[in-house]
Structure formats: C-alpha cells, structure tokens
C-alpha cells in the first residue's frame, strides 16, 4: 500500500453538504489520498465518482484505497481546472455534486523531498504538485526578477516585507543558486524584525511561491463557475479553502451565480434575462469543530462553502 496519507478535512460537513443521492454522479477535483472520495462511494447508494489529481503518488494511493468500489470510479491525472475535458472523456454531462479541497495534502507537506515546507531545512526547493511540470520553486527564486518576486510575495503571500525579502533573495542568489528550503527560510527570517521572527514566520512567503509554482489561483474563478453550471437541479457544490485569497475568489464566483436580475432598478420589467442559478446552503463558511481541531491542526484555517443548484 502506498505511504501517501491525507486526513480528509471537514469530512462529515462535506458529506452533509453534498447530500448524496442514490445513483448520483460526483466529481472530486482534488483526490489526494482518497479520503473524501472513499466516503462518497461508501456512503452513497450506487454513487459514481470521477476524480482528478496532478500528483502521481496521490493517484496510486487513492486507486488502492478505492479498490473495493471498482467499476464505480474513474481517476484522471489532470488539473481539476481541466474538468471539461475530463468529464467528456468520462462520458458525463451533468453532476449531482462536486468537491474541491484546495489545500496541500498532509503527505506533500510531510514528505521532505517535495519541498513544500519551511520546516525541512535540507529539503530541495521544489513545491510542484505535478512533478512533470517544468516550473519549480528553485526556478522561481533563482530566475524571477526582484519585481516579479515582490509581486508574488505581496499578492499571493500578503507579505508586508515583500520587497525587502525579494531584494535579499536576489542578493543571495548572486553568490550561489539557492537550493534548499532552509536557505530560503533563513533569508526570510533575516529580513524580518526580531519581534516577528518565529518558527512559522516564513509561512506566507512559502505559500506565495507554492501558489506561483502550481498556478493555484489562475482560472479558479472560471473553474468554480463552470463546475457549478454542470450541476443538475438540486445538485450541490462544495469548496474547501485554506487562505483568504482562495476564499475570496470562490465567494465571488458563487455570488455571481446567486445573483438574479441585474437590470437597472428604473426599468419596470426585467430585460436582462439573468436568472439566479444557485442558493447558498450555509450563509457563512463552515469551519472545523473543536474535536477536529484537536485531532488535526491543519483544519484550523479550512473554510467550506456549500451551494445548491436551483435551476436546470
């Protein structure tokens, strides 16, 4: 059995949100270790599943984990944003529900050689969810201009010391290429005031570089909108986010579909034809319970938004 491990976040809340239907067809765009997918297949009566992931380790582990449900699932090594092509290949037009869990898996963080974490000093600067991709963290920190690095750290990491850190990275790489997570973390720490230095002070910068490497925010709005339009009437969409940048995009995508007539109020009748397509199942994002927080610290920043399609 593969060593890939991923504890599914907000599992019961997701299953409740999806409101599994008999013979329903579901899409899990972020398969990971298969925790959510396993329960969708186990608890749903004759449910079918289409799943995607970019990580070969995840696919191998999930494939084994889902074997008891052979014949009821299809797995594709692809970015969930390619859902149109994936669903066409799977022979599926409409969905009863979809799930996107946008977090980095526990396995990817804990496996040092993947280079996702600032806690592994000797880990190589990698951060690729899909190891076939050409762009890695090493290329970002060693080849991007100071202006590019500043923008990434500021926009994707919301790092207040973005320019100072970018300048330091450029200065240090001129001496020798940066190769490890430890080197990068040390540079970041040196740029911060002493009172702000902590074991996790590099988190925002590492997040920013990871987002850039994997293109995590690119096309997310269009994907969430497109998947929601693929739902059958009564179908549910569930999205778990782990930082404010993702959550704002998902919230905006759902709000656009939740809006009805957009005609000026001065018009006596609607001429825009814009109809409300979804309604929020929960008005506020769902967060982890106290019990889950005790068992899984990584669920602390998770937010789940659930919507239901109200038209065909």
Domain boundaries, the chain: 11-102+218-309, 108-214
Q: Kindly state the helix (H) or strand (E) to which residue 184 belongs, with its residue range.
A: helix 181-191
Work out the average pLDDT over 77-101: 98
pTM: 0.92
User: Mean pLDDT over residues 175-198, rounded?
Assistant: 96
Q: Would you say residue 199 has pLDDT above 90?
A: no
User: Which percentage of the chain shows pLDDT scores above 90?
Assistant: 83
Q: With bands split at pLDDT 50, 70 and 90, how would you rate the model's confidence at 1?
A: very low
Give yes or no for residue 169 having a pLDDT over 70: yes
**Of 30-39, 106-115, 202-211, 244-253, minimum mean pLDDT range:** 106-115
Give yes or no for residue 123 having a pLDDT over 70: yes
Extract the tokens encoding 81. Answer: 């944003």
Stretch 151-178: mean pLDDT, rounded? Answer: 98
For residues 191-195, give the mean pLDDT.
Answer: 95
Question: Is the pLDDT reported for residue 60 higher than 80?
Answer: yes
Question: What are the start-end ranges of the H helices in 192-288?
Answer: 203-214, 220-229, 244-258
- What's the pLDDT score for residue 271? 86
C-alpha to C-alpha distance for 116 and 242, rounded to whole angstroms: 15
Q: Are 63 and 91 in contact (CB under 8 A)?
A: no
Give CATH for domain 11-102+218-309: 3.40.50.150
Strands 25-28 and 278-280, how do they pair?
Answer: unpaired
Given this model, what pLDDT does residue 104 score?
78
Euclidean distance between CA atoms 10 and 299, whole angstroms: 8
pLDDT value at 4 more than 80:
no
Residue-level pLDDT at 80: 97
Q: Closest Cα partner for 197 from 210, 209, 187, 211?
A: 187
The answer to whether 207 touches 162, Cβ cutoff 8 Å, is: no
pLDDT at 112: 65
How many whole angstroms separate alpha carbon 138 and alpha carbon 148?
Answer: 14
What would the mean pLDDT of 86-90 be, rounded to a whole number? 98
Looking at the predicted structure, is the pLDDT value of residue 311 above 60? yes
Asked whether this chain's domains 11-102+218-309 and 108-214 adopt the same fold, the reply is no
User: For the chain, what is the total number of helices (H) and then of strands (E)?
Assistant: 13, 7
pLDDT at 190 over 70: yes
Checking if the pLDDT of 2 tops 70, the result is no
- Pick the range with the lowest mean pLDDT from 51-55, 108-112, 152-156: 108-112
| Distance, CA of 280 to CA of 295 (rounded, Å) | 28
Beta strands across the sheet bearing 48-53: 73-77, 48-53, 25-28, 95-101, 231-241, 303-309, 278-280
Do residues 226 and 84 make contact, with C-beta atoms less than 8 angstroms apart?
A: yes
* Percent of the chain with pLDDT strictly greater than 70: 95
| Distance (Å, whole) CA 114 – CA 214 | 13
pLDDT at 267: 87
Residues 124-144 as b or e (16 or more Cβ within 10 Å = b): bbbbbbeeeeeebbbebbbeb
Residues in the chain: 312
Give the integer Cα–Cα distance in Å for 76 and 87: 10
Reply yes or no on domain 108-214 having CATH 3.40.50.300: no
Torsion, Cα of 309, 29, 93, 48 (10° steps): -100
pLDDT at 250: 98
Q: Are 37 and 49 in contact (CB under 8 A)?
A: yes
């Amino acid at each position: 059995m593969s060593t890939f491990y991923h504890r599914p976040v907000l599992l019961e809340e997701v299953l409740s949100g999806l409101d599994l239907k008999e013979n329903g067809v579901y899409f899990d765009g972020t398969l990971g270790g298969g925790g959510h997918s396993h329960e969708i297949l186990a608890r749903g009566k004759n449910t079918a599943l289409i799943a995607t992931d970019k990580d070969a380790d995840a696919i191998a582990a999930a494939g084994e984990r889902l074997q008891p449900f052979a014949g009821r699932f299809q797995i594709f090594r692809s970015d969930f944003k390619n859902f149109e092509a994936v669903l066409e290949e799977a022979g599926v037009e409409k969905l009863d529900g979809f799930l996107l869990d946008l977090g980095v898996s526990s396995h990817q963080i804990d496996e040092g050689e993947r280079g996702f974490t600032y806690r592994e000093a000797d880990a190589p600067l990698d951060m690729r969810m899909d190891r076939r991709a050409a762009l890695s963290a090493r290329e970002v920190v060693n080849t991007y201009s100071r202006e590019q690095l500043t923008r990434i750290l500021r926009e994707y990491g919301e790092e207040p010391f973005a320019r100072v850190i970018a300048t330091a990275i450029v200065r240090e790489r001129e001496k020798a290429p940066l190769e490890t997570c430890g080197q990068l973390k040390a540079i970041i720490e040196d740029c911060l005031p002493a009172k702000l230095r902590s074991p996790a002070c590099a988190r925002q910068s590492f997040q920013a570089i990871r987002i850039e490497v994997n293109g995590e925010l690119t096309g997310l709005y269009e994907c969430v909108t497109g998947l929601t339009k693929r739902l059958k009437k009564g179908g549910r969409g569930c999205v778990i986010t782990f930082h404010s940048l993702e959550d704002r995009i998902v919230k905006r995508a759902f709000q656009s579909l939740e809006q009805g007539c957009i005609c000026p109020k001065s018009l006596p009748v609607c001429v825009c034809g814009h109809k409300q397509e979804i309604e929020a199942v929960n008005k506020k994002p769902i967060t982890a319970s106290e019990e889950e927080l005790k068992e899984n610290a990584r669920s602390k920043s998770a937010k789940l938004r659930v919507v239901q399609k109200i038209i065909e």
